[in-house]
Amino acid sequence: MCIIERVEDGYAVIENGGGVLTVPVSELYENASAGDVLKKTVDGYEKDISATDDRKKYMQELLKKVMGE
């Protein structure tokens, strides 16, 4: 799974399961942001909407647990 860690200076830092990639923002979709889950395509990367939504829900639940809610 590839996840955008951060976007800065025209590049996205992407975690890819065991390492880190630095990819030009031009290879990503418009409005790419930290936390988005990506799918590799022939033309670059695209957002995996379903996986991103699932991951955000998981992270919200994890935060609730940590905060004792």
pLDDT digits (tens, 9 = 90+) for 31-68: 899 999 999 888 878 999 999 999 999 999 999 999 98
pTM for the full predicted model? 0.82
Domain residues of the chain, as ranges?
Answer: 2-67
For 57, the 3-state DSSP assignment is helix
Q: How many CA atoms lie less than 13 Å away from 27 in the CB half-sphere? A: 18
Phi and psi at residue 25, in whole multiples of 5°?
-60, -25
Q: Which fold is adopted by the domain 2-67?
A: OB fold (Dihydrolipoamide Acetyltransferase, E2P) (2.40.50)
